C-alpha cells in the first residue's frame, strides 16, 4: 500500500517538477477520459432502459451529445500531440498521442458493441411481437 502510493506520488512530482507540459497533457487526457467514461456509462444505461421497455431516450440523448463532444476532444488531443511528437520527438507528445488514440479506439469498440446489442434487443422484440400475434 505504501509502496504503490509512493510510486504514484513520485510520478506526480516528476511530472510537475521536471516535465510540466507532459503533466498538463496527461491532465487533459484524464479529463477527456472521464467524460468518455460518463458517456459510455450512459450507453449502458440506455441499453438497460431499452431492454426493460422504459424511456431509454432519457439516457440516450445526453449519451449522444457526450460521445460526440468527448470523442472530438480526444481525437483533437491525439492530433495535437501527434504533431508535437513528429516535430519535437516522443517526449513532447508521444505518450499522450498513444494514450488518446487508444482511448478513442476503445470508445469506438464499445459503441459498436452497444449498437450490436441494441440490434439484438430490437430483433428479440420483433420476434416476441410476431409470436404473440401468431
Q: How many domains does the chain have?
A: 1
pLDDT over threshold 80, residue 59: yes
Alpha helices in the chain (DSSP H): 2-18, 20-51, 57-88, 90-133
Q: Is residue 66 part of a domain?
A: yes
Average pLDDT, the chain: 88
pLDDT band for 101, please (50, 70, 90 cuts): very high
Q: Is residue 12 part of a domain?
A: no
State how far the Cα of 121 lies from the Cα of 116, in Å rounded to an integer: 9
Average pLDDT of the segment spanning 5-11: 87
How does DSSP classify residue 56?
T
Judged against a pLDDT cut of 90, whether residue 79 lies above it is answered with yes
- 50 to each of 46, 60, 117, 121, 126, how far by Cα in Å? 6, 10, 11, 8, 13
Minimal CA–CA distance to 79: which of 95, 60, 100, 52? Answer: 100
When pLDDT is cut at 50, 70 and 90, the band that residue 133 belongs to is confident
Domain extent, residue 88, equals 20-133
User: Is 46 inside any structural domain?
Assistant: yes
Is 44 or 14 the better-scoring residue by pLDDT?
Answer: 44
Q: Average pLDDT of 40-66?
A: 94
Q: Please report whether residue 13 resides in a domain.
A: no
Q: Is residue 120 part of a domain?
A: yes
- Note the pLDDT of residue 134: 66
Residue 71 C-alpha cell reads as: 470523442
Mean pLDDT value across residues 86-100: 86
Whether 52 maps to a domain, the answer reads yes
Burial (CB < 10 A; 0-12, 13-18, 19+), residue 23, is: middle
Amino acid at each position: 500500500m505504501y509502496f504503490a502510493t509512493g510510486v504514484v506520488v513520485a510520478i506526480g512530482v516528476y511530472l510537475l517538477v521536471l516535465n510540466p507540459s507532459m503533466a498538463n497533457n496527461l491532465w487533459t487526457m484524464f479529463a477527456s477520459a472521464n467524460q468518455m467514461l460518463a458517456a459510455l456509462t450512459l450507453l449502458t444505461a440506455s441499453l438497460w432502459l431499452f431492454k426493460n421497455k422504459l424511456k431509454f431516450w432519457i439516457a440516450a440523448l445526453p449519451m449522444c451529445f457526450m460521445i460526440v463532444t468527448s470523442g472530438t476532444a480526444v481525437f483533437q488531443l491525439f492530433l495535437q500531440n501527434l504533431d508535437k511528437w513528429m516535430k519535437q520527438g516522443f517526449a513532447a507528445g508521444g505518450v499522450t498521442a498513444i494514450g488518446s488514440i487508444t482511448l478513442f479506439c476503445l470508445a469506438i469498440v464499445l459503441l459498436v458493441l452497444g449498437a450490436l446489442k441494441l440490434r439484438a434487443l430490437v430483433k428479440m422484440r420483433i420476434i416476441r411481437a410476431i409470436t404473440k400475434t401468431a
